């Protein structure tokens, strides 16, 4: 019998020896370590990780092993997921709406940082969590553009209301801070700057000195075109903070989800069928790990590997790509560029799929289960070789 190999060199190496009928998600820990490094070297403050982007145990373990100790959590389940890999992790509960039972759970788990955007939720919090040493960040929303979609539609208070909330937080004896989220997959550094200048104005007018300013997640990952750069965003955050707050700035915190974890995973559904019209059916779709494709910009970082593990070539053309369920909504939003020579049984690799992929997959129609396979390298060079130069 062959030895069971648990870490493979690459997706091609894996597909040379395995032809699973279920979608596979390849995880390269070294890529996750590199993303964490980029944040820790470049971001001018404390780096935490937003667990919801990908709560896989291996992700949390690798981040903790590489020195990360702060996490943004949004529910008791996420609190437990982090505690299971790191007893003394620092948890920021930045979902601004919580039930009483959730607050009691968080308090008992030692959570000492929360966000709020309403007086009713602040009062509820103050009834359950004693103020000593506990930070409350008031969440600001502004009509700012630049992101793939607007997070202010659900959470955040207007500047006027933030001022009143901050004063109340300080009155109640909590440590006052502020937070915002510019919206996910945000490529415009100016979005962060608008928020930082506004936060300074709000705190000044409220007569409150901010302990910290949490600049959210929202940092972009690579889905199409040139790789978005984080350094200009970090520079914009650094310079806006200096300009706005002068010599006594609040400590900065960030809580990336997407940009921390996206690049470390390559999703590989398999071609189940190619129809008479040339349309493609995959064994994963928009009810599975490709859930985000209709709401965020398309992912065009696609490589096809044949059942021997070798890249499939040929000229490229756009095709309809369907998922496996019987719902007609289960289709990729734009026609997808795929090589001419694809065949049933090939594996379609989507790079940069670590965030909001199988963490949001449903089990609809009996699909949606993805197997994670650890690899040393995701082979981004195959993409450079096979990607077409133009549409």
Ligand X SMILES: *Cc1c(COP(=O)(O)O)cnc(C)c1O
Q: Least Å distance between CB 27 and ligand X?
A: 17
Tell me: does residue 257 bind ligand X (CB under 6 A): yes
Q: Which residues pair with 374 in a beta bridge?
A: 7, 27
- The residue number whose beta carbon is nearest to ligand X equals 217
Q: Which of 240, 102, 131, 114 is nearest to 177 (CA)?
A: 114
Integer Cα distance of 233 and 190 in angstroms: 8
Q: Least Å distance between CB 367 and ligand X?
A: 25
Tell me: does residue 212 bind ligand X (CB under 6 A): no
Tell me: does residue 258 bind ligand X (CB under 6 A): yes
Per CB under 6 A, the segment of 163-171, 193-201, 210-218, 273-281 that binds ligand X is 210-218
Tell me: does residue 219 bind ligand X (CB under 6 A): yes
Chosen residue from 216, 311, 324, 339 binding ligand X by CB under 6 A: 216
Tell me: does residue 38 bind ligand X (CB under 6 A): no
The tokens of 357 are what?
């992929």
Q: Which of residues 338-367 bind ligand X (CB under 6 A)?
A: 355
Q: Burial, 27: exposed, middle or buried (Cβ in 10 Å; 0-12, 13-18, 19+)?
A: buried
**Measured from the CB atom, is 255 or 284 closer to ligand X?**
255
Per CB under 6 A, the segment of 50-58, 160-168, 196-204, 288-296 that binds ligand X is 50-58
Chosen residue from 135, 255, 263, 284 binding ligand X by CB under 6 A: 255
Q: Least Å distance between CB 214 and ligand X?
A: 8
Q: Which residues pair with 50 in a beta bridge?
A: 72
Tell me: does residue 53 bind ligand X (CB under 6 A): yes
Q: Which of 156, 96, 143 is nearest to 121 (CA)?
A: 96
**How distant, in Å, are the alpha carbons of 101, 110, 118, 236 from that of 79?**
13, 10, 23, 32
CB-based contact 305:227 (threshold 8 Å): no
- Supply the DSSP string of 66-114, one letter for each residue: TT--EEEE-SHHHHHHHHHH-TT-EEEE--S---HHHHHHHHHTT--EE
Q: Which string of x and - marks every residue 76-105 that binds ligand X (by CB under 6 A)?
A: ------------------x-----------
Integer Cα distance of 231 and 189 in angstroms: 10
Give phi and psi for 221, each to the nearest 5: -110, 175
CB-based contact 155:96 (threshold 8 Å): yes
The DSSP 8-state label assigned to residue 343 in this structure reads: -
Tell me: does residue 218 bind ligand X (CB under 6 A): yes
Tell me: does residue 302 bind ligand X (CB under 6 A): no
Tell me: does residue 116 bind ligand X (CB under 6 A): no
Q: Least Å distance between CB 260 and ligand X?
A: 7
**Measured from the CB atom, is 220 or 311 closer to ligand X?**
220
Residue numbers at the binding site for ligand X (CB under 6 A): 50, 52-53, 72, 94, 181, 184, 216-219, 255-259, 355
């Amino acid at each position: 019998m062959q030895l069971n190999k648990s870490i493979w060199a690459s997706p091609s190496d894996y597909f040379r020896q395995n032809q699973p009928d279920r979608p596979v998600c390849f995880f390269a820990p070294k890529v996750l370590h590199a993303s964490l490094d980029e944040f820790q070297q470049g971001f001018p403050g404390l780096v935490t990780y937003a667990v919801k982007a990908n709560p896989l145990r291996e992700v949390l373990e690798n981040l903790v092993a590489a020195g990360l100790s702060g996490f943004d959590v949004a529910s008791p389940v996420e609190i437990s997921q982090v505690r299971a890999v790191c007893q003394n992790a620092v948890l920021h509960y930045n979902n601004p709406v919580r039930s009483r039972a959730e607050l009691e759970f968080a308090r008992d788990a030692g959570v000492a940082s929360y966000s709020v955007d309403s007086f009713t939720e602040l009062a509820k919090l103050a009834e359950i969590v004693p103020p000593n040493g506990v930070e409350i960040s008031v969440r600001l929303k502004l009509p700012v553009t630049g992101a793939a979609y607007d997070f202010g539609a659900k959470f955040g208070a207007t500047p006027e209301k933030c001022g009143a909330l901050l004063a109340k937080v300080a009155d109640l004896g909590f440590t006052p801070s502020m937070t915002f989220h510019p919206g996910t997959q945000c490529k415009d550094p100016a979005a962060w700057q608008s928020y930082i200048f506004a936060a300074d104005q709000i705190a000044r007018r409220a007569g409150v000195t901010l302990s910290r300013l949490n600049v959210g997640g929202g940092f972009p990952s690579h889905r199409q075109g040139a790789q978005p750069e984080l350094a200009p965003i970090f520079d914009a955050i650094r310079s806006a903070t200096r300009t706005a707050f002068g010599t006594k700035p609040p400590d900065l915190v960030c809580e990336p989800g997407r940009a921390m974890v996206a690049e470390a995973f390559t999703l590989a559904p398999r071609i189940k069928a190619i129809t008479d019209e040339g349309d493609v059916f995959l064994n994963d779709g928009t009810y599975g790990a490709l859930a985000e494709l209709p709401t965020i910009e398309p992912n065009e970082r696609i490589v096809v590997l044949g059942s021997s593990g070798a890249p499939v070539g040929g000229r490229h053309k756009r095709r309809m790509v369907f998922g496996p369920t019987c719902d007609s909504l289960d289709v990729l939003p734009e026609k997808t560029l795929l090589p001419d020579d694809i065949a049933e049984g090939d594996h379609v690799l989507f790079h940069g799929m670590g965030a909001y992929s199988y963490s949001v997959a449903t089990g609809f129609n009996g699909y949606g289960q993805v197997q994670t396979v650890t690899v040393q390298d995701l082979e981004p060079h195959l993409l450079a070789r096979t990607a077409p130069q133009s549409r």
